[in-house]
Chains A and B, each alone.
Chain A
Amino acid sequence: MQDLLYFSQQLINGLTIGSTYALIAIGYTMVYGIIGMINFAHGEIYMIGAYTALIAITGLAALGIAWLPLILIVALLCAMIVSSSMGWAVERVAYRPVRGRHRLIPLISAIGMSIFLQNYVHLAQGSRNIGFPALIDGGFNFGSGDGFQMSLSYMQITIFITTLICMTALSLFISRSRTGRACRAVSQDLGMASLLGIDTNRIISATFVIGAALAAVAGLLLGMYYGSVDPLFGFIAGLKAFTAAVLGGIGSIPGAMLGGLILGVAESMTSGYLSGEYKDVISFSLLILILLFKPTGLLGKPEVEKI
């Protein structure tokens, strides 16, 4: 019984973290699916979302507004707007001019952008980590009084529900709306789509904006969950989310969701049963092993190299 509770606790923690990884991973996978580049600066966009949300929360608190749903919604909207604008601007400045060149050139440009954004926030907000207020606390407890208690906090429930809403909305958008259909067309064949009258530049911008908005949601959620933010907060999370995207099969949106959940559970099992320090090693090893043995991931389509 004790073991089962402990195991379920790790599972819940893993699914919580994993669902936020999935939100960030969407940004990687959509961009990769359409223009075939790794948006290295995506983790930084997520970090900027977390910072904006914190600024909005603190600002509202200073104004004396205490109604929780209003605070959360305003913070979420602010974070999404700033992050999406950032995503749009990054694509415009750093990726569009180098699109279609040799593969390494956009990647180096993206690394430069990532360093730039990290230091932009570092200079504006300082390098120390700043506490993020726990707006949603409390939760359910299971288990007998003296043994191990399993807890499911309201925060974790919020994360699940928000992720679920975002993912459903995204799936509907991609499968039903006109823009979503254009997105799928562009990811299948960019040249053909533009011949058929789709404004491909606009669609590519749209994918960056959508990815950035979802990353901002993850920024707010994870900021509250971990309780602090700092300018380097995006780098490791971005790498993890990229791992999740690759694990699920890069370019595939359901794959990103699945990959995020698997990675989150793998990580929390490692820190629950082995040691917390090695959880990063596990996720990087997982990344390396997948790329070596099944580079298409779990749900990805094999890439055929044409000569």
Chain B
Amino acid sequence: MAAYNFRHALFCAIITLIISYPIIGFNLEAQGIKVTLTGADASTLTMVLLAAVIVFLFQLFRENILGALRSIPSPLPEAKKEPMAENRRAKIESWVLTGIVVLALFWPFFVSRGSVDLATLVLIYIMLALGLNVVVGLAGLLDLGYVAFYAVGAYTFALLSQYTGISFWLALPIGALLAALFGLVLGFPVLRLRGDYLAIVTLGFGEIIRILLNNWTTLTGGPNGIGGIPDPTLFGMEFGRRVKEEGNTSFHETFGIAYSGEHKVIFLYLIALVLAVFTALVIRRFMRMPVGRAWEALREDEIAARSLGLSRTAVKLSAFTIGAFFAGFAGTVFASKQGFISPESFVFLESAIILAIVVLGGMGSQIGVVLAAIAVTILPELAREFSEYRMLIFGAAMVLMMVWRPQGLMPMRRIHIELKKQE
């Protein structure tokens, strides 16, 4: 056994060297059409060697290390505690959540413009992740082209404002409904496919929509995108220094305060906050409605659910459409926040980030998804020197999550009754 362990450890260490040394140890540099090769510096090579040594030692003492890890008591002594009464917990939860929302309402007036802008982006991601959570987490349909619906929302607003001069408030429901319609139309044929085929087909749809946006130059402007998307207005009051449209008044003149660019940023943040809370509440309601139960039932056991009389197509389609609807919502807000959109914003990586948020937060769990959206968006901003490692860490985190904790950091909890153990 010891000899086998040693051989195996040595093998793993050599594989580590093979897969890391050629790629990391040499740098290709293109000078014009000529390509030259330079060796990496000594510290990088030491890192590669160190990695191989660590793999060797870990594989050699694998049993001991894993045994030691298992014997460490869990830091959360949840299991021993008497579970809190369900309605009491719900009450505390709702108070805490209300408190956080109220805090979030007043917070932007005291911080810098940059952080409010970032917070708006976080809220957009929260909306997207909550929407995808319905599709992936609750209904168990892996949608890799979710960003397409986001693009539909954003482009609907951009195009309508360009051609008909529509306002944000009218575009918001139109964008969301159009995205939902897309979800319905695309979902109808594909939903009878099995899990992993569905994932690939949705990925294909996402790419097709992006390629169309990129190449349909006469309508969408192609890679140059669409600019000049109007800001939202508050009862016809604009936030710019001068009024752009006839009949509108400007916000700072109406209230007799000095013009400041911050008003607009804060206003957008507040809109995003209200919409995110709206998204969360609506989806929370859906989860407790029969249709929400049906999503989960179908995810858990399709055959059992169908034999109880659930229509597979209707249930899956409802999840797909609702998810698309909220992506359209988020898209409209995004278009308005940026003032400019191009197909660059709707690549597959964006879908992967949203999926990573849902997976990290815990599929199905709303609080987990919200926390993960905040963490995934804000952490790279806080640690700027690590920002180029962001996607590397995402990828690794997705794998580790699936291996160790597929239910996510904050798994979904349902109201349930546990039978007391018999004495």
Binding site for B on A (CB under 8 A): 37-38, 48, 51-52, 54-56, 58-59, 62, 78, 81-82, 85-86, 88-89, 93-94, 97-98, 101-109, 111-126, 128, 130-133, 235, 239, 242, 246, 277-278, 280-281, 284-285, 287-288, 291-292, 295, 307
Contact = CB atoms under 8 A, between A and B. Distances in A.
B273 interface: no
Contact of B395 (A116, A242, A281): A116
29 contacts: A38-B196, A38-B199, A56-B22, A58-B36, A81-B18, A82-B23, A88-B15, A93-B399, A94-B399, A102-B406, A105-B402, A107-B196, A112-B399, A112-B401, A116-B399, A130-B28, A130-B30, A131-B30, A132-B35, A239-B200, A246-B197, A280-B207, A280-B211, A281-B212, A287-B204, A288-B190, A288-B204, A291-B197, A292-B189
B396 A116 contact: yes
Contacts of B140: 104
Interface of B: 15-16, 18-19, 22-24, 26-28, 30, 33-37, 136, 140, 142, 144, 189-190, 193-197, 199-201, 203-205, 207-208, 211-212, 214-215, 303, 348-349, 352, 355-356, 359, 388-389, 391-392, 394-399, 401-403, 406
A59 B35 CA distance: 10
Given A52-B22, A85-B18, A119 B197 contact: no
Given A103-B196, A242-B200, A291-B201, A125 B23 contact: yes
Nearest to B394: A115
Contacts of A101: 406
A86 B142 contact: no
Contacts of B399: 93-94, 109, 112-113, 116
Contact of B203 (A117, A239, A295): A239
Nearest to A60: B37
A115 B395 contact: yes
Contacts of B402: 94, 98, 105-106, 108-109, 112
B398 A277 contact: no
A91 B291 CA distance: 38
Nearest to A116: B395
Nearest to B18: A85
Given A97-B403, A246-B197, 17 more contacts: A54-B35, A81-B18, A85-B19, A88-B15, A89-B16, A104-B196, A107-B196, A109-B398, A115-B352, A120-B23, A125-B23, A125-B28, A130-B28, A132-B35, A287-B200, A291-B201, A307-B303
